[in-house]
Structure 1
Amino acid sequence: MKLDRTDRDIVAALQGGLPLVAAPYAQVAAELGMDEAALIDRLKAMKARGIIRRIAAAPNHYRLGMVANGMTVWDVDDAQVAELGALVGALPFVTHCYERPRALPDWPYNLFAMVHGSNRDEVEEKRARIADLLGGACRAHDILYSTRILKKTGLRLRRKG
């Protein structure tokens, strides 16, 4: 998919995040020399075309005091994984949840859910709540703890001259 100059300028302007002001889209639009409604329409169109997936906050969990971060992995019955995954993803302490193919025989897990806590005991309590929710549809599970932040940015474009 090709971006026209305006779309490219919008992505470049937003790639570092929205400004922390009362009307962030209005400010970005003004910086780009366009109307706020036109900016929002362009963003909606780029989302519809699959150029951007979302605009969302990407908090630094460590700075928020959430220093225990665990990717819980689950071997869930294929017939129930979509339904149960939606329930897990709706839990207030799950920041992202997704289904992935297994890599048998070494990796039987098909459901992943990221949880954060102020310590590992808190993360383990949240993992136990997920296990209770999954019940007998879950055959095995594990948790992989983060040891450092690898990425906290989205797409980055270079500005063309």
Structure 2
Amino acid sequence: MSVTDRDIVSALQGGLPMVAAPYAAVAASLGLPEEDLLARLEDMQATGVIRRIAVAPNHFKLGMTANGMTVWDVEDARVAELGAQVGALPFVTHSYERPRALPDWPYNLFAMVHGTTRDQVEKKRQQIAAILGPVSRANDILYSTRILKKTGLRLRRKGPTCSD
């Protein structure tokens, strides 16, 4: 990673500025033309240096105070296929496969659901259950009791270790 790319990641890791032209503001703070900043971001995404630039909303502040991680024990041979279907639901914010921790934790498919009430979340959970059908042998839901700090990777500068 070049020094400039590292500077870009460092400048963006705390979020975009709340201004009309956020990329232009970041580019100006780095002494770059906006087009160069955008091209470097595109290159970093294409090469996998960064996965994405996305909004991380505070669901509690948006009124979504009943937030539950639904967990499912799905047949291994079908978890990828069914997980993709679950993840495509408009009310699922993220869905992923995790290894089981047997014998205590049989669940291998996780899907986060948000709502204003637990009843609303339970109805969404039932929609997921309908998709999974008998392939899901067990499920549960873990409700959030507080919001945790949401941040991505934070770079620390230790000195010049790369060049432009």
Same fold (TM over 0.5): yes
Letter in 2 for 1:24: P
Q: Specify the alignment match of 1:84 in structure 2.
A: 82
| Percent of paired sites with the same residue | 76
* TM-score, with length taken from structure 2: 0.90
The count of aligned residue pairs is 159
What runs of 5+ residues in structure 2 fail to find an aligned partner? 160-164
Cα displacement (A) at 1:41: 1.8
1:5 aligns with 2:25: no
> Post-superposition shift, 1:28?
1.2
Matched, 1:98 2:106: no
Match of 2:13 in 1: 15
In structure 2, C-alpha distance between the alignment counterparts of 1:7 and 1:34, rounded to whole Å: 11
Alignment-derived partner of residue 115 in structure 2? 117
Q: Which residue matches 1:38?
A: 36
Paired with 2:58 and 2:11, the residues of 1 have a C-alpha distance of 21
Superposition CA RMSD, Å: 1.5
Moved more, 44-53 or 103-112: 44-53
Distance 1:25 1:33 in 2: 12
Which among 134, 138, 141 is matched to residue 136 of structure 2? 138
Cα deviation for residue 86 of structure 1 reads: 0.6
- Measured after TM superposition, the shift of residue 63 of structure 1 is 0.3
Q: CA deviation at 1:35?
A: 1.6
Quick one: which amino acid aligns to residue 106 of structure 1? D
Residue 132 of structure 1 aligns with an amino acid whose one-letter code is A
TM-score (norm 1): 0.92
> Larger deviation: 52-61 or 27-36?
27-36
Secondary structure of the residue aligned to 1:20 is coil
